[in-house]
Amino acid sequence: MKLLVENFKNFLSEDEDDPKMPQEVAKLLDDNGYHVDQYLGGGKYGSVYQVEVKESGRRMAVKVVDGAAAGGGSVKREVNNYMWVMDNKEGLPKDVSKHLPDVYSADIVGDYGVIAMELLDPD
């Protein structure tokens, strides 16, 4: 049974490898006040990192969408989607909003989408 559960977890995970963070992304996060603690996961167009806000020490997740891989339209769409969640989560029914993260900011910085959100517990 354990093997079945582990295989299912691997199936659900988009990418569990801890890739080397591109220097440009490391600089982008550092310049925007984040210290990167660890890589959490990623997909075709971007990566999610656990970060600590340098000024406050608050831990959160930051999703970085790579414009070179995703294309400018995809970055804008992803940022707009998270902005919608940020602006509308409170007005959604509880049974819907409980499935969405708290989003703190969603911006386009250079060629990247940078989305800061609550750090969720693993399933």
| pTM as predicted | 0.78
pLDDT tens-digit readout, 52-107: 999 999 999 999 998 877 777 889 999 999 999 999 999 999 999 999 999 999 99
Cα–Cα distance, 89 to 1 (Å, whole number): 37
Residue with tokens 């339209």: 73
Cα–Cα distance, 41 to 29 (Å, whole number): 16
Angle, CA of 86, 36 and 34, to the nearest 5°: 55
